[in-house]
Amino acid sequence: MELAIQYSLYIISCVCIFVPLFGFGIAPPTVIGTALSVFAGNAYSLIAQQGILKNFIKDKKDSGASGGLIPILEETQKLIDGIENPGTAMKAKSHSHGHDHAEGSHHIIPIPVYVGVLVVLLIGTAITVEVAQFDFGAMNTVIAMLVATVKASFVLAFFMHLKYDNMLNRVIFGSGFFFLMLLIAFSVADIFTRVPVLKAF
């Protein structure tokens, strides 16, 4: 199931590369760039967080293989360990069964952090309501959306534990917003070039 989900993400990424290239030809570099970064993020999370490369090396060594690509792969794994947890790269070996150790010990966010987030959200609400009393013209929408986005990020990072979650969930959720952006971009491009739009009162 996990594999199917991961491949579905690849397929979606491929589709969003080819649609603008062959279909519309509008700003393909941006779309391709984002899609490729989703690609890279997913692949990296596979290797770094789920220890696929580590397991591969271990399997090969267990079955008595040596030489060839193995030393290079081992160097790559060390490099990834260095990035993932700086300072503990040397201890990487004792972590080869990381998944078994992690059982039942998820990161628990202490209550004061939750209270802090609650306070931030309430202040954000107050700011949104207060700012709306004044007329900044088009800036009203921008300010409201900026504050809403800050509030949403706090909810996502702490209440939804995304800050301490694995990379794949972040990539999955990010892809949702990416497709929303795609929808907005094409809709805006269509409406603003075709229909007379009101710019000010």
Give the binding site for another protein (CB under 8 A): 1-2, 5, 99-100, 102-104, 106, 108-109, 111, 114-115, 117-118, 121-122, 125, 128-129, 132, 140-141, 144-145, 147-148, 151-152, 155-156, 158-161, 165-166, 168-169, 172-173, 175-177, 179-180, 183-184, 187-188, 191-192, 195-201
CB of 75 to another protein, least distance (A): 28
**Residue closer to another protein, measured from CB, 24 or 192:** 192
Sequence-ordered strand ranges (E) for the chain:
none
Residue 58 to residue 93: CA distance in whole angstroms: 11
Distance from the Cα of residue 137 to its chain's centroid:
34
- Is the Cβ of residue 92 or residue 109 nearer to another protein in the bound state? 109
Identify whether the C-beta of residue 124 lies closer than 8 Å to the C-beta of residue 147. yes
Report the distance separating Cα 56 and Cα 34, nearest Å: 29
Residue pair 78/105 in contact (Cβ under 8 Å)? The answer is no
- Least gap, CB of 66 to another protein (angstroms): 27
Question: What is the smallest separation between the CB atom of 164 and another protein, expressed in angstroms?
Answer: 12
What span, in angstroms and rounded, lies between the C-alpha atoms of 139 and 194? 24
Q: How far is the CB of 121 from another protein (least distance, A)?
A: 5
